[in-house]
Structures are given as C-alpha cells and as structure tokens.
Amino acid sequence: MTSERFAGGDQNYLRTEQYGSTDRLAARTRLHTRYRTAPVPWFRWVAGLIEWPTSGRIVEVGCGTGELWSTGGIELGDAELVLVDQSAAMVDAATAAAIGAGHRRVTGLVADVERLPLPDAHASLVVANHMLYHATDPAGAFAELARVAGPVGTVMASTVGPNHFRQLKEIEHHLFDEPLLDPTNLKFGIDNGHRLLGEVFGHVTFCRHDDVLAVTDPADVVAYMRSTPPVEDATAEQLEAVEAVVAEAFVAGDGTMNIDKDVGAFICRR
C-alpha cells in the first residue's frame, strides 16, 4: 500500500521527496484555494479559532510554506514566531512568507516533531497544521507538543476525517486497489483525534470547517493526485487511466467536479 509512506511510514521519503521542495504541497494548496466554496478560507478560519498572543513565543511544527502566516491575517505584535519543519526547503519558504507578511520576529528551525530541540514550556502556543499523521509515533509527537507548550500553553492541531476527498479516494481504490479509508485517518484523524490527544491533554475541543471544492479544471485534480501516493508512482498507462476517470467525472458534473472536504482542528490544553 504505497499511501502508507505518506502517513508516517517513511520519514526519509517525507523529508527528501514529498517535502524536499515546495512543488507537491503547492499543487495541493492550489486546489484548495482556487475552488473552495466555504465563505471563510481555511487559514483565516484557523486563525479565528483562538486569540493569538502578541508577546512571548509561538511555535508552528510542520510549517510547510507558511500559508498560515501569509494569508491568515494574524497580528503577532512582538511575539516571536518559531517555524519548524523537517524539510529545509519548507522552513526557508515559510520564514520568507512570514517575514514578507510583516511578522517581525521569525526564526526557522529544521527538526523532527518527535524530537524538538526546544526547552520545556518554550511557547504559549504550538500549532501543528495537517501534519501529525506524518509522525512515526503520533503519541510521542503529542507528548513533545505538550512539553513545548508547558502546563499552561495551548496546542492547536488540525487533521482530516474519513470522508476527506472521498471522490479521489474512490478513484485510487478503483485503479490502484488503495483502501477507501486513508491511512492518515488511522494515524491521526478526526475520528480518533479526541481520544489520542485526550491521553496527553486534560481538555480537548474540536471545531469543524465545512467546505466543498467545486473544481472546474481537470488538470488541477490530476496535479493534486500526482502529488501523493499512489498516483505519484503511476506508470504512463495508469496515469492515462486516472486522467480518463477524472475527465468522466467532469462530464458527469457538467464541467464541475465537486470534492468533499472533511477537516477540522483540535484545541488542546493541559
């Protein structure tokens, strides 16, 4: 099952291939930003879940390209922002994005979420946006986030549910015999997240973000699918089959393919 590499099974693959450059993440981000139907974009919605500190320290682990800081509309004042990722390319992109958005105190750090080189209670807020399912040991990652946030800090962790991108999972199941339930949900998803986080944090709440993508360009769907297993490993013949099935979906939808999202964020305090 090739999709298991994406769900924390192969850290070298994640670090050097999947996130070795910003290209694959950009293809996925493009689909979300171009075709959302939700009135509030994802990162602005995330930004509205909590009151952001304007002093002290904030850590984002698995910072990606820094979209939260460039598009979330967050005002940090004098707070120090520490952006962490195991990919140097992502750290570079995220720090540039945050500085470009006007955040004054920004530090980049290349590190693994399960071994953060940060002191206990280093930050009043720790963010882990759609990344904890990449951890080899999610429970160990939760413990690290709790340690860095300290006894009075907050951890915000977002993830996906079993119906996320259901239409694309059905295509992968049909053409590649991949499971309909994505392995990311088994690692750390909406259904098990409350239980897993509750083993570390005393208070956990969940907020759901409702959205459906109304996609009008088949090429963007194919680009998204090619950014992750199993389609990233497809042969030329398999890729042709993917393109044909996607094209059929657009014909059936009169030029639009609706893709369900199943996403949300947990707010955790000790």
Domain ranges in the chain are 2-210+262-269
Average pLDDT, integer, range 84-88: 97
Comparing CA positions, the residue from 70, 60, 130 lying closest to residue 96 is 70
Q: Which segments of the chain are extended strands (E)?
A: 57-61, 80-85, 106-110, 125-129, 154-160, 203-209, 212-215, 257-260, 263-269
pLDDT digits 0-9 by tens, 114-163: 999 999 999 999 999 999 999 999 999 999 999 999 999 999 999 999 99
Mean pLDDT is lowest, of 10-14, 37-41, 70-74, 105-109, for 10-14
With cut-offs at 50, 70 and 90, classify the pLDDT of residue 8.
Answer: confident
Whether pLDDT at 33 is above 70: yes
> Where do we find the tokens 């955040």?
103
- Token readout for 13 is 């693959």
Residue 172's pLDDT band (cuts 50, 70, 90): very high
Percentage of the chain exceeding pLDDT 90: 93
Whether the predicted pLDDT of 1 surpasses 60: no
Instruction: Provide mean pLDDT across the span 193-202.
Output: 96
Q: What is the CATH number of domain 2-210+262-269?
A: 3.40.50.150
Q: Are 125 and 98 in contact (CB under 8 A)?
A: no
- What dihedral do alpha carbons 217, 1, 162, 51 form, nearest 10°? -80
Sign of the C-alpha dihedral computed for residues 70, 72, 74 and 78 taken in this order: negative
Beta bridge partners of 109: 84
DSSP 8-state code for residue 7: T
Report CA Rg, the chain. 18
The Cα 176–Cα 239 span in angstroms is: 11
pLDDT over 70 percentage in the chain:
99
Residue type, 158: S
Confidence at 7, pLDDT banded by 50, 70, 90: confident
- Is residue 223 within 8 Å of 262, Cβ to Cβ? no
Looking at residue 5, its pLDDT comes to 82
pLDDT tens, position by position, 242-253: 999 999 999 999
- 7, amino acid identity: A
Q: Residue 182: its pLDDT value, please?
A: 86
Closest-CA residue to 94 (of 69, 118, 73, 128): 69
Res 83 pLDDT > 80: yes
**Residues 45, 264: Cα–Cα separation, whole Å:** 10
Length of the chain: 270
Q: Quick: pLDDT tens for 222-241.
A: 999 999 999 999 999 999 99
C-alpha atoms less than 13 angstroms from C-alpha of 2 in its C-beta half-sphere: 14
Mean pLDDT calculated for residue range 34-52:
97
Q: Tell me the pLDDT of the chain averaged across its residues.
A: 95
